[in-house]
Structure 1
Amino acid sequence: MATYPGIDTELLRSFVAIADHGGFTRAADVVNRTQSAISMQMKRLEDDVLERQLFERDGRQVRLTAEGQVLLGYARRILKLQGEVITTLRQPHMVGAVRIGTPDDYVMRFLPGILSRFAQAYPLVQVEVHCESSTQLLQRQDLDLTIVTRKPGDEIGQLLRQDPLLWLEAPGFDVHEQRPLPLAMFNNDCFCRAWTCNALDAQEIDYRVAYTSPSLSAIMAVVSAGLAVTAQMQSVIPPDLRVLGEADGLPKLPQSSIVLLRNPHNVSPVSETLAEHIVEGFRL
């Protein structure tokens, strides 16, 4: 197998600076080198390392060749990885595991952004996500952080946001006019299901729970097919469903509170840092 010389990352750093700033002079200022030093670096990169022309020079104007454009993509990735390695190894205290619990409602809406930003900052931390209803999560003692839904006036822990509960159906269907009203709801231990049924009972609206699932995506699939109406929190409503209200003959539903609970027996820098990311993520 043929062997090739390695590429010094300082050469790549200068190369990227030239590409980003359009010339050797401005790039020299950025990487804190003289213009002659930059020129020598690029000559070495072109002649000794890659044996390819990377620049087209027209007076003071510098443009990348086709080979230079290819190298630019690789150079950015190499420098990014180098930065990640240094960041990771300089933060050894942020290594470990953290267990969080959350209802299925919030997984697709909030967790992708939260966990993505957390992983970029602390790539060595292992995160376990447990999806259960709020009632089940409140009974667990083994989780570091727990996100749950609470009734208005019954908040515990740190308030993340307040969300109104809204009726939903698929556009083009009039499922809300059927009697008994077919509902697609979470299982029996869900707060939202109890609030929904109580509101219908108070207005003496005949209904039946036609579909149940612990999965929000399954409930939304049933509703999207025009088979039932559901009631979900505003923040998790997909754009393709129609919001119903009192004008459609349905009762107004209460506002829910989403709160974050910390396990006082499992406090650590890892869990506290993830808690800060969760608080910030629910504000977006």
Structure 2
Amino acid sequence: MGRERRPALGDRRITLEHLRAFVSVAEGGGFQQAGLELHRSQSAITQSLKRLEEIIECRLVERCQGHIVGLTSDGRRFLPSAVEILARTNEAVSAMVQPQISGRITLGVPDDFRIMDLHGAISRCAALNRGLRIETVSALSSALVSGVQKGDLDLAIFKQIDGQRTATPGRSSLLLRTEPLLWVANARSRFDSIAELPLVVFPPGCCYREAALVALAAKAKPSYPAYVSASYENVRAAISAGLGVGILPDSAVGADHIVLREADGFPRLPRVNLTMIEASGRKAVRQFRDFLRATVGRTSARADTIALDHAGSRMTAAE
């Protein structure tokens, strides 16, 4: 038995620079990108990460000849907490350097996309700004874009396929996150062995669904909607139950899901972007936008090797 570990997050030796180095390496896919993002040398990033691993007494990243090839199981477990600490720090600083936010703001969020601590960020922003009233609407992204166009929403966070332009001319938009879309099932299968592909999908208007249909049409593969729901949790549960093949972003794939790859014959899917669009130019809306950006606005530009490492780990565990 090894010696007992001390509570890592209560260790005063861990600094924000250690956490920034780890998160930047994890999300950027390597030391070079992390150095550019943090304006530090690669050697400094390497030393910060090494020191963090020494303090918490576990390896966080897998290395091969000086390159990052993925996160360890401990690294994947530690990453959400590290991101949360940095987000809370950004929130605290943002709240102090900006004047109080007041007034009524209508916010639209997608109901089928896992957004890092968005609900918590909204709650904390309201607690810090007693004169602010936030009205949040959850809907499919197509409905949110329509709400922006009609002027029903001050701010909206929605998903769209990378490279596609949304019909919101003159609106200020910000890319929050980007990640790959994946074919997901509860068991391994070959694309060419399925005569007609049963799909677990969100209703029409969802960009995941549209991307899948385009990819299947290019392969002349028949399909049918085996299960349709606007509920994110229902879709995940239907995939787990084996009702069909689903289409999810990498961050939404469950531990019991199997990622179906090009090696299985499945066509490559595009990346999906999480975008925030400002429909109103009011000062309070801009302040609230900046607050949310500090919390959920880390654009995840992880290399595909990192995403595949995550998916591969899930596959191995399931098998």
- In the superposition, the TM-score normalised over structure 2's length comes to 0.54
In structure 1, the residue matched to 2:134 is 127
Matches within 5 A, 1:259-270: 259-264=275-280, 267-269=282-284
The answer for the alignment partner of 1:185 in structure 2 is: 201
Mark the CA change 1:121 to 1:191 in structure 2 (over 3 Å): closer, same or farther.
same
Helix, strand or coil for the counterpart of 1:105?
coil
Alignment of 1:153-164 (within 5 A): 153-155=163-165, 157-164=173-180
CA shift at 1:122, angstroms?
Answer: 2.7
Provide, for residues 60-117 of structure 1, a one-character-per-residue CA deviation record: whole Å limited to 9, x for no partner: xxxxxxxxxxxxxxxxxxxxxxxxxxxx9xx994333321112112356442342244
Q: Could you tell me which of 191, 194, 197 is aligned with 2:210?
A: 194
2:257 and 2:190 map into 1 onto residues whose CA distance is 13
Which residue number corresponds to residue 105 of structure 1?
112
Summarize the alignment of residues 236-275 of structure 1 with structure 2, pairs less than 5 Å apart: 236-264=252-280, 267-269=282-284, 271-275=285-289
Aligned CA distance change for structure 1 residues 123 and 182 (closer, same or farther; 3 Å)? farther
Residue identity matched to 1:128: E
Contact 2:101 2:288 in 1 (8 A): no
User: Secondary structure of the residue that 1:226 maps to in structure 2?
Assistant: coil
CA RMSD of superposed structures (Å): 2.7
Q: 1:144 to 1:209 in 2, by over 3 A?
A: same
Change (3 A) 1:95 1:251: same
Corresponding position of 2:152: 142
Residue 147 of structure 1 deviates from its aligned partner by 1.0
Residue in 2 aligned with 1:227? 243
Give the direction of change, closer, same or farther, for the CA distance of 1:103–1:201 in structure 2 (3 Å limit).
same
- SS class of match (1:102): strand
Q: 1:151 aligns with which of 161, 164, 172?
A: 161
The corresponding residue for 1:282 is 297
Matched ranges for 1:6-155 at <5 A: 93-106=100-113, 109-140=116-147, 141-155=151-165
CA drift of 1:278 comes to: 2.3
- 8 Å CA contact 1:175–1:182 kept in 2: the answer is no
Residue identity opposite 1:150 in structure 2: Q
Secondary structure of the residue aligned to 2:204 is coil
Could you tell me the percent identity over the aligned residues?
A: 31
* 3-state SS, counterpart of residue 179 of structure 1: coil
Count of residues in Structure 1 that have an aligned counterpart in Structure 2: 192
Deviation above 6 Å: which 4+ runs of structure 1? none
- The residue type equivalent to 1:97 in the other structure is R
Hey, what's the Cα distance between the residues in 2 that align with 1:161 and 1:150? 11
Q: What TM-score comes out, normalization by structure 1 length?
A: 0.60
- Larger RCO: 1 or 2 (CA < 8 Å, sep 6+): 2
Q: Contact 1:175–1:229 (CA<8 Å) still a contact in 2? A: no
Alignment-mate amino acid for residue 94 of structure 1: I
The SS at the match of 2:113 is helix
Q: Which residue type is aligned with residue 265 of structure 2?
A: G
User: Secondary structure of 2:137's match?
Assistant: strand
Summarize deviations over 1:186-230 as a string: whole Å, max 9, x none. Answer: 111112211101101111222211111111111111111111111
Are the counterparts in 2 of residues 175 and 226 from structure 1 also a CA contact under 8 Å?
no
Residues 219, 225 of structure 1: alpha-carbon distance in 2 compared, 3 angstrom cutoff: same
Change (3 A) 1:255 1:107: closer
Aligned mates of 2:114, 2:130 — CA distance in 1: 20
Unpaired runs of 5+ residues, structure 1, are 1-87
Kept after mapping to 1: 8 A contact 2:189/2:260: no
Q: Which runs of 5+ in 2 are unaligned?
A: 1-94, 167-172, 301-319
